Structure formats: C-alpha cells, structure tokens
Amino acid sequence: MMARGIKGAIAYGILGTSAIAWIIASIGDPVVDTYNVTDFNAAEVTFSFSAIFDVANFPEESFFAAFGSDGLGNLGDGVSYADFFLIMVAFLFVDIFDTAGTLYSVGRQAGYVDEETDELHNSDEAFMADAGATIVGAAFGTSTTTTYIESAAGVEEGGKTGLTAVTVGVLMLSGLLLAGLFKQIPTFAAAPALVVIGAMMMRQAADIDWSDIGNSIPAFITMVMMPFTYSIAAGIAWGIITYVLINALSGKHKDISMVMWGLAIAMILFYGNVTID
C-alpha cells in the first residue's frame, strides 16, 4: 500500500494484522506459535464488542508510588543515597540518549535539521516536552514516557507540524474512554509498521561518509548495537566510545571535542561498572 502511495497505509497494516489475529483466534487456533512462548507474550487475542467502551483505571500499585515507602520514602533506610544517585545517573544517560537519538532521527526525517549546522530546530522545546512527560508519567505510575521512534510513521504520512502533536495527544486521551478497544489490538500488530519505519530511517545512512573509517565504523556500530541490545541509548553510547577510540588511536585526537571525550569516559566507566557488578 505504501508503494502505491495510499494514505494511512501504516494504520491499515496494523488494523489488517489485528483482523487476521481476531479471525484466527475466533476459530480456535493459537495466534502465537507455542514455541518459546512466555506468560508475557502469550496473551489471548480476542475481539469483543461489549468491551470496546471499557474505561481505563489508574495503576493502583504504582500510582504515586515513587513518593511512597517503596520510592523516595525508602531513602536513607532501605536504599542508600549513593545507590540512588548511581541509579539516577544511569537512567539519566539512558533517557537523554534515547530522546536525543529519536528526536534527531525523526527531526531529520521531517526536514527540521539544519543542513549546515546539523542542529535540530526548536530542540530546547522538544527536550523540555519530553522531560515534562517523563516526570509526570513516572509520578502517575506508568512506564517511562518518552519520545518514540514510531513518530516517524506520522512524519511519513505528512504530519510535520505542532497540530499533529496536538491531534495525537487528543487521540491518546480518548484511550481513557476507549481502553477496551485499544487493548484488543495485539502488540505484534505493530510489527509491519516497525519494519516500514526501520526502512525509512535507513535513508539517513546515505548521508554518512563511508570512506571515512573514523566516522563510518562508529556509525555502523551505532546502528547494529541498537537492535542487538534493544536500546537506542546503548547503540549511541558504544558509537561514541568507538568514535573516540578510533580517532584517538589514529592520531586525530585534536578533532575530538571535549564533550565527546567526557561522554566516552563516562560511558566506559558506566559499562565497566555494570560488567563488574
């Protein structure tokens, strides 16, 4: 459908995959292969008209738990301030790298990266919005609320303005009243969209100078480490480490900025500590 230029092709792909899953489940066949199926991914796939208007509930166990006895209230008693600081720094690096990588990639896809300075337009506002969502989401007990690479799907469909973000936000709020409908969309139905998004993001690889080993190998390491580690942050971190090491050992240490040196040292210490632990 995308090859034919059909608008909404990604959404149709998700709905089509969901419909196939509902049909297979309705005739009594397993939707997920029984090999290597865990309790986490073996959720039943059904479609129920009566459940469409089920309303979402607040997560009772995690709602404001960050400020309770299992969170900040446990500092100094069960958890030391030093351990808390190390964990906070670790999450800080992960969130910053995840957000930076996603915003830059999606911004470049939308044409909001300056070709001369290679800077993302309105990056301060974008990072502040992401930081605010992360804080509010954590306080309300959800999983980390951050910028997702799936946003590239909206860019591909032509959504490149703030109105797109407002529209998506309103639709997300509708999920509070239509939670029953959204819960019936199986997680794996997004797989076709992710494949398409991955293909779209590879367009940026054409801008890499593959003849420059000091840039091409770190770029390659960054790209392959993301799916291998299931983390954008880990891919960026190892790309930075590789970039600094290659250029430093090849006599180009003067071309490495102090920021890159600092990040590389911090990442080496971080991953070294994780390995030792």
User: Phi/psi zone of residue 63: left (φ > 0), alpha (ψ -120 to 50 degrees), beta?
Assistant: beta
pLDDT mean over 223-241: 87
Average pLDDT of the residues of the chain: 81
Each residue of 103-120: pLDDT tens digit? 888 888 888 888 778 888
Kindly list the distances between the CA atom of residue 47 and the CA atoms of 29, 50, 181, in Å, as whole numbers in the listed order: 14, 9, 8
**Buried (b) or exposed (e) across 240-271, using 16+ Cβ within 10 A?**
bbbbbebbbeeeeeeebeeebeebbeebeebe
**Which among 232, 59, 91, 260 has a CA at the least distance from the CA of 151?**
232
Nearest alpha-carbon partner for 16 in 183, 159, 186, 225? 186
Other Cβ atoms within 10 Å of 6 Cβ, number: 10
pLDDT digits (tens, 9 = 90+) for 168-216: 888 888 888 888 888 888 878 888 888 887 887 787 788 888 999 999 9
3-class secondary-structure state, position 185: coil
pTM here is 0.67
Long-range contacts at 120-128 (CB < 8 A, ≥ 24 apart):
127/99, 127/103
Report the length, in residues, of the chain: 277
Residue 65 CB contacts under 8 Å (≥ 6 apart), including other chains = 71, 141
Q: Residues 54-79: pLDDT tens digits?
A: 887 777 788 888 888 877 777 777 77
Buried b (16+ CB within 10 A) or exposed e, 60-96: eebeebeeeeeeeeeeeeeeeeeeeeeeeeeeebbbe
Residue 42 has pLDDT above 50, yes or no: no
- State whether residue 153 is helix, strand or coil: helix
Alpha carbon distance 181, 6 (integer Å): 25
Report d(CA 159, CA 2) in Å as an integer: 16
pLDDT of residue 246: 94
